[in-house]
Amino acid sequence: MNTIILIFIIFLGGAILTFLAGMLKGILKEVLFLASVFVPVVLFFTNISIGQTFSFQAAGFAFQWGITPLSYVFALIVAGLGLMAAIYAVSAMRNKDNVSFFYFNYILTIMSMLGILFSRDLISFFIFWEIMTWSSYLMVVYQGKDVQTVGIKYFIFSAVGAYAMLMAIVVIYSLTGSMMIDSLIQSFPGFSFNMQLLIPILLLIGFGVKSALMPLHVWAPGAYSHAPMAYSSVFSGALSKMGIYGMVIVMVSLISHIPGGHWFREVIAWLGGITAVMGTLWAIKQDDAKKLLAYSSIGQLGYIIVGVGIGTPLAMMSGLFLAVMHALFKGTLFMVVGAIERQTGTSNLTEVTGLIRKMPWTFLAALFAIIALAGIPPLGGFISKWMLYESLIGSNHYLLVIVIFFSSTAAFLYCYKFLFGFFLGQEETEWSHVKEAPAMMVVPMLILAVSTFVLGVFPGLILNPINEAMQTLGYANTQGHLWELSIIFNEWGNQIAMQPIVYTIIGIFLFFLTFLTIKGYKETRYVTTKDISSSGEVPKEHENLTFSMNFMQPFFRAVEPLMRRQIDKYYTGFANGMEALFDFTRRIYTGNGQTYAMYVVIFVVLLLLFKNIIFG
Amino acid sequence: MESIWYKILGAIITVIVAFIVGLTYMGLSRKITARIQNRKGPPFYQNFIDALKLASKTSAIHHGFMQHIGPAFMMITSIMSVLVVPVLTGDQWFSNLNFKGDLIFLLYIMVFGPLGMALGAGQTGNPNSAIGVTRGLSQMVGFEIPWVMALVALMMQYKTASIVDLINIQQEQGVWLMFSSPFAFIAAVLAMLGMFRYSPFDIVGAPTELASGPVSENGGKYLFTLMSSNSIFAFAKLTLYVDLFLGGASNIVELLIKTFAIYLIPMLYGTVSPRYRTEQAIKYFWGWPLFFGFLALLYAAIF
Amino acid sequence: MVGSPVLLIAIPLLAAFVIPLIGMIWKELVRIIPGLVLAYMLILSATLLYYVSQNGIIVETIAGWQPPWGINLVFSPLTGFLATLMSALGFLVWLFSYRFKRNVDFEPAKKYFIFLMLLIAGAIGIVITGDIFNQFVFIEITGISAYALTAFYTGRNSAEASFKYLMMGALASSFLLVAIAILYSQLGTLNMADIASKMHTMNPTYKIIALIFFITGIGIEAEIFPLNGWAPDAYTEAPGPVGAAFAGIVVKAGVYAIIRMIFTLFDIPSAYDFLIVIGLITLIVAETSALRQEKLKRMLAYSSIGQMGLVIVAFGIGTHEGVFAALFLMLNHAVIKPLLFFSGSSLVFNSKEKQIAEMNGLGKRMPLMAAFFSLGAFAIVGLPPFAGFWSKLSVLSAAANEGLLLIIVLILIVSVIEIVYYFRVVNRIFFQEYSREKSAAPHRPRVNALVAMFVLAIAILVIGFYPDAVTGILHNASKDLLNTDEYINNVLQLGQSLTR
Amino acid sequence: MINDKNSQKIVDIIQNWSRKHSIWVLAYGTGCGAIEIPPTMTSRYDAERLGVRGAATPRQADVLLITGYLTTKTLKRVIRVYEQMQDPKYVIGFGSCTINGGMYYDSYNTIKVLDKYLPVDVYINGCMPRPEAVLAGFGKLQQLIAEGKANGATKYKENLEWYRGNQKKIIPNWVMPEYNW
């Protein structure tokens, strides 16, 4: 049996079996769940080689599944993060209602994401896309909060995106007579200009929704924060990357062939830039860690879109590398929030404080992830940021680089807010009972966190598959002049050699760690955080001295004009207007038989009057 | 193998030089400020005494491990930046990591320490620390923008991101970049006012309001570490300005003159200025400095 | 051949008359007999369909009169497909309602099954007859039984709904009769094939007027936009399985009649465009009206109207793909909408107002019903990998092949609206707090109803995962519809030189 | 070598010298004497030339300057501040009030003799002392530091029981963390 189909059968069967096992007591469902994620992932890593395909016919369409170098990069994200989050989920979701439903959707999501990456034809791409959409939708509403607003909003946006994509697909089918992605790419340059413009726009709407591109992002904060955190890490880390995956194909293989296509890509890149800024600003404003991470994800996806949109080799590399990194660190951060929420019962940054001594390992994971997120060397986030800036500067995007830089500098604010809010600050008695999260939750986080470090020192590990992917997209081989195992270059040949830098940093750090920190730590003794210099006062046990309300208020006083308008409000207004309009159309059906009879007469009379126009 | 030891030795010497120069400059600034205020002022070596005293003070308590790592993070930033910035042009001894990192790297390693310090400050649980940190970070967002604009303008104009290359370009052309890219220089200098956190941008550690802000729970050795880190960092920043805009320095005297000349700008501006609130500071940086940044970008785009 | 197509009409008619007599012997037989009849019909029509697909269409003459003079029945891949679909649905409706009103008394059950048999007989008659007046008769049979079924709950509202339906139906039949009269006066024949072959000789003005009256007359049954005022009330007030039967059987027959007119009888090309326009209007008005409905069945009714509009649009595209898509839509609608009606009526069974708001939190109380309803909702809005996706895809693809991008956009926008109201309900069922009084015991559907729903659900999944199971039949059917010449030839059987 | 007695002596000398020339003052403005601090620090008298400089928090300060009378209410805070300061630390009693109560000698809510509650190293006499006197006080403190005689903190640690007893007499409901040096 073909391994590709085997993977999907195991996923599907595993999902159903896990769901059914949910009716039984015991750990059968957990075991089945882990197995049905683990086995296909292992099969994927061991038995799937690039170029292997599997084809069949159904409903008059030819289907072809197989992995390409590009989708391999994304499949790495999906498989890796999916597996880690699955391990995490088993522990995180224990004792929740309807766990098997969660598992069911989780497996389906992983399956559909791999399916998207495996699809070489548009129909199965779309089918898996929709499965991904509704399984993720079910996860968004899983906890039953704000389902009629957040859930519906997510699904409407997804549906608009998916239907735009569907329209593009049928148009492509009518133009080429084939559903194969390859044949689309081949015949695209021959399309008329209108079609060349229409198809990418429609596809980009579809992909833009999933990758939370402005102005299609408004579903994201709610959806990311309402899903269970074990799922959100996949949601934000991997699922949003499906949009990026599609965008890469559209940008490189389609839009580049339009006359004047680089302007198109410029627009997309600018949209990405604005997304990055606004996502970051709103992230700073959030008090709920989930919302903060959700907006931060929007911002980070904005960077990726900028990289993909600019599309020079370095930019594309940075976009794809950041896609991988974002999966690692944002996956970790959502897991961290999940762990904290599980241990404390809330994820509000203004409530939870001072967990660092209670949950040190979680803090360590969060610290790594935040450093990677902020793009500070030597972790992997820096590599992607560096490549992004260099590529923007190298390709003369004067203003865009400033926009991006503003966004990533402002990102420090929410990075700090996240760490400070949860882990630092006063240790309140309210949280003195909090324990470290179970090992099954902590270990996946730490693995992901440490891998950001490894990729920071040896970016070549992941740049190698990215390079191969880019070669199939038509880029030149960049190994050697843009990157090596642990050195990255910009287009002018300036380099960052990660190894000496990292060794120096580690050296300095160890020196001060030994002679300052550990020595000092041993010589001194611990006092509670109530023992602070607060004008000679002795704070009472229950007095909360933590500074967490209006955390970045001065900053917001400065950027207030930027944040006065919310796209969300326009959408809400539009939706309300539509509902009012539809309420009016509803009244066409008056419920009065005479009116209905009159409609019939009017219908006949109109047809008879205008018969020559209508039937002429 | 031998070269690595030379490198390490060179690095240590660089750091020591940076430490001494930085502290001296700070002492001089106290002296000059005092003279401007018609005081006698402390001796220029006063900061060394302070440092020595701080180092000799004991510390009895801690609020957690992070509080003690903060200064270490700060040191990483300072030392890394001073190692990446070319101190003396063409000097083998002090080449350190000049070729391993470029401007973007420098920008990012420069925020590593403040963020680590912020974490340390956060763990003390002192609300003043956190307030100071938020102010500092907000202000950083303010001044980074014109600063980056200036750097981007330079990088675009001369098609390199390496500081060494920029020095070489200045030496080849025989013109300092402050003359050949004047707007970038102005923007960078205005940004520098915020970077050094002298008045009017010293709200971060406003002593009477915030009880010195982020460092309010740090005393003794930690304050000493932070102080030396600050001085090294200041030296690194000054050297960077000299390298970028004043053509670098080939010997130590030239370096000192140029760096001190640059140093006088934020210092003298600070002595005659009151204090901005955070949002005022941000708006200040997004006013004229931003305008000059745009001019610099325009200039770079045209030429 | 296992039997004649005549039996498909004759047996249910016979059964309808026999039921009250047999009921005197043993009350249970009233419930059993229709099932047996429908099962037989299902087997018969399926066998005939298979036979037809192998051997070409069957033209059955009644009483030895050859067409064009006598009444004839045509069992072609198209009509056979629809007849099979209807008998299958009829069987499922019977299965669902086997124990229907068991605890009330004998009389309503008797009526219910009589009219159900009549309804199915009439609908199948509409589909397989080859005579236009005969079709009118069957439309009347269907209509009358439908009025009766609407008024089944003998309440004020039911009576009102039924009266509205009756009134519209009366208008419809008069228009229909006028149209038939025009045709007969002009062409001197009532046989469809004969009319089709002679149509080119007819005065265009008369032709158009006849068509208009036809469309109006049948349009009322087919739920075309301004003519469908009866539908929401009737669906709401009729019992759940009757709603399913309306959506799955009656409307299909009506749509078939219109399509037969336009594709075979009348040679007016612009009628296709008219179909597209009127279908789109129906679709948009119905779906937008559905958005703000408060009662579940009413919402389903509007959704059903909308789906029919979509079917008409697909027919209006007029190509093989369009017809294929339309038939596929009809099939899916016939599979999905009954499931929604069945599970929906179970969900609101114990509530007073039958309102959507009363379904909050039922997912925990009635997980299986809720799951069926959600499956139906997922399928009807066209989410893969369920049945509705393939039909939606084929409609869009057909439209795209004709370059009708605006239609695609409109259909997709309407689909979004559809998603909104269906998912609001699904959200209520699963993810909101239970709002009825806690003591109210959830309605537990009987085994027979569960089996009916299971069959439909499995059909949805099978079509969704393996669409090739049905596409062959649909392709045959659509070929059959488009090939007018073959139809005429086969029916008239005379090898006449076709002058068209 | 470091632990050698002679070298320890050298280290002590250096340390004391540095402490002497770098005095970071935490001015606890309890009483009217605080008004004398600004003139002392600013242009005319310029205490900074002696290395005297304000400190923002007790963690960074070397000298606790009790400027004037100390009410029973503020005593608690002052003790807290003093205990939060890190070694080596000194206390300067500023003005007559800290010595014997001064003009508040018969007040019911000020403490009269500061030395009973905190180990005062240097008193500055006067009501209030002029900046010259303050500078002289600092000079005295520097001299004591250089000689290694400014050992109030050690005294405090050694006689903690006694100090605590006195303090608790003034402060009825004692809720303070233990002194951790």
Of D28, D74, D180, the CB nearest to A527: D180
Three-state secondary-structure class, residue A53? strand
Q: Do A616 and C270 make contact, defined as CB atoms within 8 angstroms?
A: yes
Closest CA to C193 of C398, C499, C494, C489: C489
Q: Do A393 and B156 make contact, defined as CB atoms within 8 angstroms?
A: yes
Residues in chain B, total: 303
Q: Residue A604 is part of which domain span?
A: 586-616
Residues on chain A touching D176 (C-beta within 8 angstroms):
538
By C-alpha distance, the chain A residue nearest C236 is: A591
Residues on chain D touching B30 (C-beta within 8 angstroms):
48
- Does any CB of chain B come closer than 8 Å to the CB of residue A389? yes
Q: Do A536 and D57 make contact, defined as CB atoms within 8 angstroms?
A: no
CB-CB contact of B86 with B164 (8 Å) = yes
Residue A100 has a pLDDT of: 82
Residues on chain A touching D59 (C-beta within 8 angstroms):
533
Residues on chain D touching A533 (C-beta within 8 angstroms):
57-59, 81, 84
d(Cα A234, Cα A331) in Å, to the nearest integer? 6
Domains, chain D, with CATH or none: 18-170 (3.40.50.12280)
Mean pLDDT of chain A: 84
Q: Is residue A486 part of a domain?
A: yes
Subunits with 3+ C-beta pairs closer than 8 A to D:
A, B
d(Cα B143, Cα C80) in Å, to the nearest integer? 78
Least confident of A478-487, A547-556, B91-100, C291-300: B91-100
Kindly state the percentage of chain A with pLDDT values over 70.
100
Rg of chain A over all Cα atoms, to the nearest angstrom: 26
Residues on chain B touching D22 (C-beta within 8 angstroms):
46, 49-50, 52-54
Task: Give the pairing type, strands A495-497 and A487-489.
Answer: antiparallel
CB-CB contact of A555 with A413 (8 Å) = yes
Quick one: tokens of B189?
Answer: 């200098």
CB-CB contact of C344 with C373 (8 Å) = yes
Of B50, B60, B207, the CB nearest to D56: B207
Q: Do A526 and B155 make contact, defined as CB atoms within 8 angstroms?
A: no
Tens digits of residue pLDDT in C470-489: 888 888 888 888 888 888 88
Tens digits of residue pLDDT in C265-324: 887 888 888 888 888 888 888 888 888 888 888 888 888 888 888 998 888 888 888 888
Residues on chain C touching A590 (C-beta within 8 angstroms):
229
Q: Is residue A200 part of a domain?
A: no
By C-alpha distance, the chain B residue nearest D89 is: B57
d(Cα C285, Cα C262) in Å, to the nearest integer? 23
CB-CB contact of A132 with A242 (8 Å) = yes
d(Cα B167, Cα B246) in Å, to the nearest integer? 9
Task: Give the pairing type, strands D122-124 and D90-94.
Answer: parallel
CB-CB contact of B43 with B112 (8 Å) = no
- From the centroid of its chain, how far is CA D116? 13
- Return left, alpha or beta for B248; rule: phi > 0 is left, psi -120 to 50 is alpha, else beta: left
Quickly tell me which residue has 């801690």 as its tokens: B62
By C-alpha distance, the chain D residue nearest A526 is: D180
d(Cα A29, Cα A34) in Å, to the nearest integer? 8
C1 pLDDT tier (thresholds 50, 70, 90): low
Quick one: tokens of C203?
Answer: 């005065």
Q: Is residue C359 part of a domain?
A: yes
- Does any CB of chain D come closer than 8 Å to the CB of residue A531? yes
Q: Do D180 and A525 make contact, defined as CB atoms within 8 angstroms?
A: yes
Q: Do A526 and B61 make contact, defined as CB atoms within 8 angstroms?
A: yes
- Does any CB of chain B come closer than 8 Å to the CB of residue A374? yes
Tell me the HSE value of A155 on the side-chain side, using a 13 A CA sphere.
29
Judged by 3 or more CB pairs under 8 A, whether C touches B is: no
Stretch C39-65: mean pLDDT: 82
- Does any CB of chain D come closer than 8 Å to the CB of residue A543? no
Which amino acid is it at C366?
Answer: M
Residues on chain B touching D26 (C-beta within 8 angstroms):
none
d(CA A388, nearest CA chain B) in Å: 10
Three-state secondary-structure class, residue B86? coil
Helices (H) and strands (E) in chain A, counts: 25, 5
d(CA D110, nearest CA chain B) in Å: 26
Which residues, in sequence order, are CB contacts of A94 under 8 Å at separation 6+?
none
d(Cα A45, Cα A67) in Å, to the nearest integer? 12
Which amino acid is it at B232?
Answer: I
- From the centroid of its chain, how far is CA C111? 21
Q: Do B49 and D22 make contact, defined as CB atoms within 8 angstroms?
A: yes
Chain A residues 434-473 within an 8 A CB cutoff of chain C: none
Terminal Cα distance for chain A, rounded: 60
Q: Do D22 and B50 make contact, defined as CB atoms within 8 angstroms?
A: yes
- Return left, alpha or beta for A424; rule: phi > 0 is left, psi -120 to 50 is alpha, else beta: beta
- Does any CB of chain D come closer than 8 Å to the CB of residue A524? no
Subunits with 3+ C-beta pairs closer than 8 A to C:
A
Q: Do D43 and B58 make contact, defined as CB atoms within 8 angstroms?
A: no
D181 pLDDT tier (thresholds 50, 70, 90): low
Q: What is the pTM of this model?
A: 0.91
- Does any CB of chain D come closer than 8 Å to the CB of residue A1? no
Sites in chain B below the pLDDT cut of 70: 1-2, 90-96, 98-101
Residues on chain D touching B219 (C-beta within 8 angstroms):
57, 59-60, 86
Q: Tell me the backbone φ, ψ of residue A526, rounded to 5 degrees.
A: -75, 135
Residues on chain D touching A535 (C-beta within 8 angstroms):
77
Beta bridge partner(s), residue D122: D92
Q: Residue C485 is part of which domain span?
A: 314-321+328-490
The number of distinct structural domains making up chain C is 1
CB-CB contact of C116 with C90 (8 Å) = yes
Q: Is residue A519 part of a domain?
A: yes
Cis bond upstream, residue D41 (ω within 30): no
Least confident of A258-272, A378-392, A525-539, B70-84: A525-539
Chain B residues 150-209 within an 8 A CB cutoff of chain A: 152, 155-156, 159-162, 165
- Interface A–D counts its CB contacts (< 8 A) at 27
Q: Do C396 and A595 make contact, defined as CB atoms within 8 angstroms?
A: no
d(CA D117, nearest CA chain B) in Å: 22
- Of A497, A530, A563, which one is at a domain's C-terminal end? A530
Q: Is residue A376 part of a domain?
A: yes
d(Cα C217, Cα C177) in Å, to the nearest integer? 8
d(Cα D46, Cα D39) in Å, to the nearest integer? 8
d(Cα B141, Cα B195) in Å, to the nearest integer? 11
Residue C180 neighbours by CB distance under 10 Å: 20
Q: Do A147 and C432 make contact, defined as CB atoms within 8 angstroms?
A: yes
Question: Sign of the CA dihedral A74, A80, A86, A89?
Answer: negative
Best interface-test mutation with B: which of A368, A402, A545, A551 has the largest number of B CBs within 10 A?
A402
CB-CB contact of C182 with C213 (8 Å) = yes
In this model, does residue D42 exceed pLDDT 60? yes
Question: Sign of the CA dihedral C420, C424, C430, C433?
Answer: positive
Of D59, D76, D177, the CB nearest to A533: D59
Of C292, C416, C467, the CB nearest to A579: C292
Best interface-test mutation with B: which of A356, A396, A422, A494 has the largest number of B CBs within 10 A?
A494
Distances (CA, A) of A405 to A400, B148, B155: 8, 8, 15
d(Cα B126, Cα B59) in Å, to the nearest integer? 17
Element (H, E) at D71: strand D70-71
Q: Is residue A272 part of a domain?
A: yes
Return the biggest CA–CA distance within chain A: 101
Q: Are residues A459 and A599 in the same domain?
A: no
Closest CA to A466 of A304, A586, A346: A304
Q: Are residues A597 and A526 in the same domain?
A: no
CB-CB contact of A224 with A236 (8 Å) = yes
Q: Is residue A335 part of a domain?
A: yes
Helices (H) and strands (E) in chain C, counts: 21, 2
- From the centroid of its chain, how far is CA B25? 12
Residue B118 has a pLDDT of: 83
Q: Are residues A297 and A423 in the same domain?
A: yes
d(Cα C139, Cα C252) in Å, to the nearest integer? 12
Three-state secondary-structure class, residue C352? coil
Residue C106 has a pLDDT of: 53
Quick one: tokens of A437?
Answer: 């999260």
Q: Between A38 and A60, name the one with better pLDDT.
A: A38
Tens digits of residue pLDDT in C391-427: 888 888 888 888 888 888 888 888 888 888 888 888 8
Residues on chain A touching B7 (C-beta within 8 angstroms):
none
- Return left, alpha or beta for D91; rule: phi > 0 is left, psi -120 to 50 is alpha, else beta: beta
d(CA D100, nearest CA chain B) in Å: 30
Residue A604 has a pLDDT of: 86
Stretch A481-499: mean pLDDT: 79
Residues on chain C touching A583 (C-beta within 8 angstroms):
291-292
Quick one: tokens of A500?
Answer: 């000496």
C497 pLDDT tier (thresholds 50, 70, 90): very low
C500 pLDDT tier (thresholds 50, 70, 90): very low
Least confident of A228-242, C243-257, D26-40, D121-135: D26-40
The number of distinct structural domains making up chain A is 2
Q: Between A582 and D177, name the one with better pLDDT.
A: A582
Three-state secondary-structure class, residue D66? strand
- From the centroid of its chain, how far is CA C284? 20
d(Cα A372, Cα A391) in Å, to the nearest integer? 20
Q: Do B297 and A398 make contact, defined as CB atoms within 8 angstroms?
A: yes
Three-state secondary-structure class, residue A8? helix
CB-CB contact of C88 with C148 (8 Å) = no
d(Cα A372, Cα A383) in Å, to the nearest integer? 9
Beta bridge partner(s), residue D111: D70
d(CA A351, nearest CA chain B) in Å: 14
Task: Give the pairing type, strands D110-111 and A53-58.
Answer: unpaired
C103 pLDDT tier (thresholds 50, 70, 90): very low
Residues on chain B touching A359 (C-beta within 8 angstroms):
none
d(CA D50, nearest CA chain A) in Å: 27
Of B38, B57, B212, the CB nearest to D87: B57
Of C229, C393, C471, the CB nearest to A596: C229
- Return left, alpha or beta for D176; rule: phi > 0 is left, psi -120 to 50 is alpha, else beta: beta
Residue C493 has a pLDDT of: 67
